[in-house]
């Protein structure tokens, strides 16, 4: 007998290659459909289906057009009887997701103070320039390392001394540049979790690429990751210009070679040597984009390795299309895509002696109608945000009342979370929300909206509210969205 576990998207179906003469529906929290021998059968948890003749495959169908569904089937030959529990039963607390899965209860309250600071509408087309910032004192070619949506590291692409990093905080609204001599590396780095990785090389005759690891918050040295990737350059003029990481795989450029390196062990998984020098490695749209000195995507692979695919599938524009006609060879290394804010930050270098310009492009079409500041009322936490305006892409209506308060109607939960986090939330954010307490909503003061032990998405509670700001809002979330 074989156990089949799967989760189907809304209106999704999956063919399972499993043969037998019966199917038992071991777990599902709602009605689903099975197709065996072109016959569609509606089933519920505990149902057993035995077709007229044996089968080699079963197609599982989710008829729900809104929510995913988790399914566990038993497929085999002979017979199967579920066991009836008798005697004492211990009940463990848990909560339910939209797909029906029962998970550990990780809910926590997030008390927030929300203030609306702007209601001017701002629209940007995909890859349109949003902002640019001239970095005073930085007059040589630089590479960018992303630390957080509002924190960047700059490093000269000729950083032979290894200690010439500068940090740009408050990006892009109120940028401040501070030298960071306490951190050391030789080019563009990346982050994994709460750690910053900067490339360097080992000593001795057989040099390899080594990543120095620092705390994102304190810049305290945490150790290093020694890789199997050979360092074959002149140590006095290292060219470890560009790198990227998807959390599992590091993509590191060295001269004309790109290495795919296991981010946990440092083992080289694969490598590819190009005909030209790479200047940026950009992760976007599920692809690894390698961009050359001419601003062209010269190598493309799906995230997870370095298996070449047609560059026509690239999801980023060529640099010459977003540089207003500047000569391609003047372009900098180390452009970065910021997933949370859906933006691309590209350094623009004209010539030595002229400050570089950091340019921020929108990676999506966006229509922002609301800006605000949100702080954690408990007074603690890494995500406390008191000093930065952030816009939201939530679908909302906005009206300034005679009292000076701002009336917001529509996706209020999404708007508050995006302003608080300083980034866009995932599409299924309501699958992480279990309760909201408004100081005032639709004239009710206070008002509590709760879905009990299941998420808002599982309970089909829509994000459609009417609130006047400023006010306090407490949102109960499970782990995974912050």
Domain-by-domain residue ranges, the chain? 2-91, 108-121+369-477, 125-362
- For 283-331, how does the pLDDT look when each residue is reduced to its tens digit (9 = 90+)? 999 999 998 877 788 999 999 999 999 999 999 887 655 545 444 434 4
- Percent of the chain residues past pLDDT 70, beyond the cut: 87
Helix, strand or coil, per DSSP, at residue 412: helix
- What span, in angstroms and rounded, lies between the C-alpha atoms of 253 and 468? 51
User: According to the model, what pLDDT value does residue 123 have?
Assistant: 86
Backbone angles phi, psi at 308, to 5 degrees: -65, 135
- For 397-456, how does the pLDDT look when each residue is reduced to its tens digit (9 = 90+)? 899 899 889 999 999 999 999 888 888 898 899 999 999 999 988 888 889 999 988 899
> Are 263 and 251 spatial neighbours (Cβ–Cβ below 8 Å)?
no
- For 91-137, how does the pLDDT look when each residue is reduced to its tens digit (9 = 90+)? 556 788 888 888 888 899 999 998 888 887 788 888 888 888 888 77
| Domain 2-91 class in CATH | mainly beta
Q: Find where tokens 């039963």 sit.
A: 89
Comparing C-alpha atoms, which of 84, 125, 190, 181 is closest to residue 362? Answer: 125
- Sheet containing 343-348: which strands, arranged edge to edge? 129-134, 357-362, 343-348, 336-338
Q: Return the CATH fold of 125-362.
A: Lipocalin (2.40.128)
- What span, in angstroms and rounded, lies between the C-alpha atoms of 358 and 133? 5
- For 164-204, how does the pLDDT look when each residue is reduced to its tens digit (9 = 90+)? 788 888 777 778 888 888 888 888 899 998 899 999 888 77
């Amino acid at each position: 007998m074989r156990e089949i576990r799967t989760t189907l998207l809304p209106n999704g179906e999956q063919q399972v290659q499993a043969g037998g003469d019966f199917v038992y529906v071991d777990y599902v929290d709602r009605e689903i459909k099975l197709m065996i021998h072109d016959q569609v059968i509606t089933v519920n948890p505990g149902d057993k289906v035995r077709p007229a003749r044996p089968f080699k495959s079963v197609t599982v169908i989710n008829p729900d057009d809104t929510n995913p569904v988790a399914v566990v089937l038993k497929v085999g030959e002979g017979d199967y009887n579920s066991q009836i529990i008798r005697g004492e039963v211990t009940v463990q607390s848990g909560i339910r997701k939209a797909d029906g899965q029962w998970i550990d209860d990780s809910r926590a309250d997030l008390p927030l103070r929300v203030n609306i600071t702007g209601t001017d509408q701002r629209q940007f087309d995909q890859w349109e320039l949003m902002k640019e910032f001239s970095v005073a004192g930085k007059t040589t070619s630089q590479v960018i390392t992303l630390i957080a949506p509002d924190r960047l590291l700059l490093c000269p692409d000729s950083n032979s001394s290894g200690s010439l990093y500068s940090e740009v905080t408050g990006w892009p609204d109120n940028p401040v540049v501070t030298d960071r001599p306490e951190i050391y590396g030789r080019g563009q780095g990346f982050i994994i979790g709460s750690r910053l990785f900067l490339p360097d090389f080992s000593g001795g005759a057989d040099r390899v690429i080594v990543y120095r690891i620092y705390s994102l918050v304190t810049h305290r040295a945490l150790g290093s990751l020694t890789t199997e990737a050979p360092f074959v350059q002149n140590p006095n003029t290292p060219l470890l210009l560009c790198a990227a990481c998807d959390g599992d795989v590091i993509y590191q450029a060295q001269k004309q070679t790109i290495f795919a390196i296991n981010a946990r062990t440092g083992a080289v998984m694969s490598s590819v040597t190009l005909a030209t020098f790479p200047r940026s490695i950009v992760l976007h749209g599920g692809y690894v984009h390698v961009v050359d000195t001419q601003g062209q995507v010269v190598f493309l692979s799906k995230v997870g390795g370095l298996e070449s695919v047609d560059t026509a599938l690239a999801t980023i524009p060529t640099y010459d299309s977003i540089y207003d006609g500047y000569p391609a060879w003047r372009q900098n290394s180390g452009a970065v895509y910021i997933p949370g804010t859906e933006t691309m930050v590209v350094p623009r270098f004209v010539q030595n002696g002229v400050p570089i310009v950091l340019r921020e492009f929108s990676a999506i079409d966006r229509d922002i109608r609301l800006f605000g500041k949100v702080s954690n009322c408990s007074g603690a936490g890494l995500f406390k945000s008191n000093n930065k305006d952030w816009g939201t892409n939530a679908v909302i209506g906005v009206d300034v009342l005679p009292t000076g308060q701002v009336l917001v109607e529509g996706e209020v939960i999404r708007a508050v979370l995006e302003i608080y986090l300083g980034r866009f939330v995932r599409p299924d954010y309501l699958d992480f929300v279990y309760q909201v307490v408004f100081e005032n909503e639709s004239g009710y003061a206070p008002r509590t909206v709760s879905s009990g032990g299941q998420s808002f998405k599982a309970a089909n509670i829509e994000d459609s509210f009417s609130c006047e700001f400023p006010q306090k809002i407490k949102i109960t979330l499970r782990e995974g969205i912050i």
